[in-house]
Amino acid sequence: MKKISDLFSRHSRKRILSQSFFLGALATAGVILNAFSLSLKVDAQTPLPIVNNTEIDSYAQAVLAMEPARQNAFEEIKKLIGNGEIPKIVCNDSNSFNGLPKKAQDIAVNYCTRAQKIVADNGLSFDQFNKITLELQNNNMLKRQVYDSLLRLQQTPESR
């Protein structure tokens, strides 16, 4: 009868040791490659900023300045349409005015003209403003920056 020590002969122990070493090396390589892979994903997912802080502040100022005019235009159009649904009005898409009665179209055009002036007065082109608006739909970091800027701009001077 063989002793247990005989089962783990020198040859057998070498083989187990080399297998353990191989599996350990394989596991270590997997961990390193996984960490490297995650690092690459994080770097690749961090977008370059499309907007700088000055543009964010300009955007927020324009939004704040436009809001009262937008609300007034919306209320006027709502009165004209009554219980009907107000279509989405997009200033750079004249087709979005088509579903409105003539007087409501005039209100929308007047609002859009004022909005373009407000955007320009705040240092942005209308294209830049629209680009930021579109980017806000998918970029939570930019949303947060604009939100923070809006909050800061709405603070009363004595609370700053």
> Which residue type does 146 have?
V
Supply the DSSP symbol for 92.
T
Helix (H, G, I), strand (E, B) or coil at 3: coil
pTM of the entire predicted model: 0.64
Maximum mean pLDDT: which of 27-41, 54-68, 82-96 = 54-68
Which sequence spans correspond to the domains of the chain? Answer: 4-45, 53-159
pLDDT at 18 over 50: no
pLDDT class for 135, splitting at 50, 70, 90?
very high
Check if the beta carbon of residue 14 is closer than 8 Å to that of residue 22. Answer: no
Distance CA 107, CA 146 (A): 28
At 13, give phi and psi (nearest 5°): -65, -40
Residue-wise pLDDT for 45-85, tens only, equals: 555 567 889 999 999 999 999 999 999 999 999 898 887 78
- Say what the pLDDT of residue 142 is: 94
Non-local CB neighbours of 136 within 8 Å, separated by 6+ positions: 142, 143, 146
pLDDT at 17 over 80: no
pLDDT at 90 over 50: yes
Distance CA 135, CA 51 (A): 9
- Rounded mean pLDDT of 88-116? 89
* Closest to 74 in 3D by CA, of 86, 91, 90, 84: 86
